[in-house]
Amino acid sequence: MERYFKTILVTIFAILPMLSFAQNRGDRDDMLIDIDVKAPYVSEEFATIKVETKIPENLYGESLKLVIEIKNNVGNIVAYENRYLNDDEKDVVIQTLTLENPWLWSEENPYLYTVERKIYKEDTIIDNQRVYIALKDFYYLENKGFILNGSTYNLRAVRYKTHQIDEINRFISLMKNLMLLREMGCNTIIVDDNLYDSIERITNVMGIVSIKSSSTESVPELFDKVEDLDDLIDNAFIPKDKYYYYQSIWNKDLEQLHLLPHWNWKGREGEITPVLVYTNYPKVELFVNGESKGISEGCRNLWYDVEYEPGNIKAVAYNEDDEIVAQKILNTPSKPHHIKVINHPEITLPLSRGFISFVTLRVVDETGELVNDYNKKIRVKVKSGGELVCLINSSKSDNYTTKSSLKAHNGELTLIIRSSGESKELDIDVKGKGVK
C-alpha cells in the first residue's frame, strides 16, 4: 500500500491574548534567541517534542542554562528538562522531550500544548519564549484516503486564495474568511506553500486542517472538485449562493433553507427563470405568487419551468412527518427606503490592540426587502467607538477604499471598523442617495 505523503503537523505561534503572526521574543530587543519546535513522532501512546535553540555568537562560551517546560491546556507541566550548556556547545542546541499518552489534535477537539523555553545566564532570565503546538498525524493512503491520528478523515475542503484586503491587513481577512468557512462546515483548506505557516497557526485553533498545495499535486484526483474560496465568499466577505449549498451538506448542526435567485428581474416578465433551493430538510415545496410548483426532495432542488412575474417566491420545508418546519420568502422589492445596518461577530486583535468589527450595510425597501439593483454611492462616518479601516463591495472593480464613501453593489456594502477601546458600541452615520 503506497503512502503518498506523511507529515507530523505542528503548529507554532506565540502565546498572546489572542493570535499573532510574530513569535514572542522576550522583552529585550537585543536578546532574540531563535526557537524551533518539531514533533518527530506522534501516536496515542507517546509523542516526542524536539526543541532547537540557536545560540547567538555573542553568547558562545557563556555559562547558560536552558529550561524547557511543556504544559497542557490548563497550564499543568507534563514534561520538563533542565540543561546546562558546556563551553563547547555552540550554534544549535537540541533538546528532546517525551509526552506520554498525549492529547492529539482533532476537528472536534483542537487541543494545544504550550512549550515554554527559558534561558538563564547565571540566575538571570535573558530570554523567555512560549509557543503552542498542535499534535496531529496526517497522511494519505492509497485506496483508503486521508488518515488523521489513525482514523479516516473525510475532507470537506476549500482551496484558499487571498482577497484584495489581504495586502492591506492579512490577519483581518484570514480570520474573517476562516470563520465563515468553519460556519459552512469546512474542515480542510488547501493553501499555497508560502501562506502555509501563517495560516496553519490559526486553522489549528479553529479545528481546520491545512494542506500545502504542493501536497494537492501528489493526489490530484482528490482535489479536482474542490471549490476555490472566491466561488464561495466574495471579496466583501458576503457568502455566495454556492456557500449555502455546501453548508446544507457539511454543517449538520445548522438547519438550512436557502432560496435563489432574487426576485427582481425587471424586463424578464414572462421569461423562464429557474428557481433553486439548497436545504438539509427532507422535503421542500416551491410557491410562486401563491401557486405551488411542486415538492422536491434532497439538498439541491431545482424548478426549471418557472416564469418570472413580480411578486414573490416561497420555499416551504417539511419534516419526515410532512409537517411544515421552515419557510423562506423572497419578494420583488419596491423603491429603496432605508439602509439596514447588520453587525457581525468581532475579531479580537493580538497584543490587546482592540478588535475589528464587520458591518454590512444593506439597502432595503419599506418592508425590509433587499433592493439588489441599488448601486449608488454610500457615505459612512464613524462618529464614535472606532475608526474606519475600509469599505468593500462585491464588484470586480472599484471595490475597495480607505476613504469614507463607495458605491454599493447589488444593494450591499461592507464596513471594517477598528476599535482600540473596551466598549464595543459603535455610532455610525450612513447616507445614500434616495434612502434614509
pLDDT of residue 199: 85
Nearest to 11 by CA among 160, 215, 205, 148: 205
- For residue range 412-436, what is the model confidence (pLDDT) as tens digits? 999 999 987 766 688 999 999 999 8
Task: Calculate the alpha carbon distances from 64 to 51, 93, 95, 434 in Å.
Answer: 16, 11, 14, 71
Residue 195 reports pLDDT greater than 90: no
Give the model's confidence band at 32: pLDDT under 50 very low, under 70 low, under 90 confident, else very high.
low
- Average pLDDT score over residue span 173-177: 89
Give residue-wise pLDDT tens across range 59-73: 877 788 999 999 999
pLDDT at 26 over 70: no
Q: Are strands 300-303 and 312-318 parallel, antiparallel or unpaired?
A: unpaired
pLDDT recorded at residue 19? 33
Across residues 17-46, what is the average pLDDT?
A: 60
- Which whole number is the average pLDDT over 178-197? 91
Q: What is the mean pLDDT of residues 234-249?
A: 95
Q: What is the pLDDT of residue 345?
A: 86
Per-residue pLDDT, 434: 93
What pLDDT, in 10s, does the model give residues 359-417? Answer: 999 999 999 999 999 999 999 999 988 999 999 999 988 888 989 999 999 999 999 99
- Check residues 1 and 391 and name the one with the higher pLDDT: 391
| Model pLDDT, residue 22 | 28
Q: Is the pTM of this model over 0.95?
A: no
Mean pLDDT of the chain: 86
For range 276-302, the mean pLDDT: 97
Predicted local confidence at residue 307, as pLDDT: 97
Helix (H) or strand (E) holding 293: strand 291-297
What percent of the chain has a predicted confidence (pLDDT) above 70?
86
Domains parsed from the chain with CATH numbers: 3-137 (2.60.40.10), 155-240 (no CATH), 257-331 (2.60.40.10), 338-432 (2.60.40.10)
CA distances from 35 to 73, 229, 414 (A): 21, 33, 40
DSSP calls for 237-278: S-B-HHHHHHHHHH-TTS--EEEES-S--TT-TTSB--EEEE
How far is CA 231 from its chain centroid?
15
pLDDT tier for residue 352 given thresholds of 50, 70 and 90: low
Reading the block at residue 6, the C-alpha cell is 506523511
CA–CA gap between residue 396 and residue 393 (Å, rounded) = 9
Which grid coordinates belong to 367? 418592508
CA distance 330 to 241: 14
Top mean pLDDT of 21-30, 158-167, 419-428 is at 419-428
Q: What is the pLDDT of residue 85?
A: 84
